Amino acid sequence: SQQGEEDPQALSIQEGENATMNCSYKTSINNLQWYRQNSGRGLVHLILIRSNEREKHSGRLRVTLDTSKKSSSLLITASRAADTASYFCATDVQGAQKLVFGQGTRLTINP
Amino acid sequence: NAGVTQTPKFQVLKTGQSMTLQCAQDMNHNSMYWYRQDPGMGLRLIYYSASEGTTDKGEVPNGYNVSRLNKREFSLRLESAAPSQTSVYFCASSEAWGETEAFFGQGTRLTVV
């Protein structure tokens, strides 16, 4: 089974609203990353948060990490049509030299 | 700076045929990965190479083999393609496994009929 699971699987909001996506994982991690994938394209890195960090910002993105609950959230503020994409969390599993992805949240921003 | 380059972009195979997917990165990264993406399944790790000279199985390695030819190149081979291997394949690389951002290629859309 996969390490990370995103929630919700799909999210549709109006332009200008905030979008929140959640990620839960199962084992201890060193860091957690968020990626975006536009339809038919490869994934693009958004932000990395380390296990000793609780919150991180990058432009309109805000990521939180709660290692006690093994969960993370990605908040996109003031959404734009161009934010329409799938968003994935990825974790590096401690003791295993690999990057494991969740199933993704498909975000649709309606104009 | 091309980043991660995958070839081919599209491929149709008949059941039982073999093929190799090529991946090259020009960022001097140590780690390289092969993922497959299926609808509703997200990305699943097939094989990875944490550094030149090493390869390890991921979540779904059956039916695949890999070769880390040198630091730049990491190929994925299907010896006898099956319809269940119809998928979009992504190659990725990172400076250090899991610790830094991964850069992805544009993907290979493979159909096995």
pLDDT of residue A99: 80
Measuring CA to CA, how many Å separate B20 from each of A43, A53, A75, B60, B78? 22, 41, 39, 17, 6
- From B42, which residue of chain A is nearest by alpha-carbon distance? A103
Q: What is the rounded CA–CA span in Å between residue B48 and residue B68?
A: 9
Q: What is the rounded CA–CA span in Å between residue B35 and residue A25?
A: 19
CB of A90 within 8 Å of a chain B CB? The answer is yes
Average pLDDT over residues B91-107: 88
Average pLDDT over residues B30-44: 89
- From A102, which residue of chain B is nearest by alpha-carbon distance? B42
Average pLDDT over residues B22-31: 96
Q: Are A5 and A70 in contact (CB under 8 A)?
A: no
pLDDT of residue B39: 82
pLDDT of residue A48: 94
Residue A70, amino acid: K
Local confidence pLDDT in tens for the 111 residues of chain A:
456 788 899 999 999 999 999 999 988 888 999 999 998 889 999 999 999 999 999 999 999 999 999 999 999 999 999 999 999 999 887 777 678 888 899 999 999
pLDDT of residue B42: 83
| Mutant choice from A23, A100, A106 vs B, greatest count of B C-beta within 10 A | A100
pLDDT of residue A1: 44
Closest CA to A79 of A3, A4, A15, A9: A15
Mean pLDDT score of chain B, rounded to an integer? 93
A contact residues 50-89, partner B, Cβ 8 Å cutoff: 88
Instruction: Quick: pLDDT tens for B59-90.
Output: 899 999 999 999 999 999 999 999 999 999 99
- Please list every residue in chain B whose beta carbon sits closer than 8 Å to the beta carbon of residue A90: 102
Assign B1 a pLDDT band (cuts: 50, 70, 90).
low
Non-local (6+) Cβ contacts of A98 within 8 A are A92, B33, B45, B48, B50, B56, B58, B97, B98
Min distance A102 CA to chain B CA atoms (Å): 6
- Please list every residue in chain A whose beta carbon sits closer than 8 Å to the beta carbon of residue B92: 43, 99
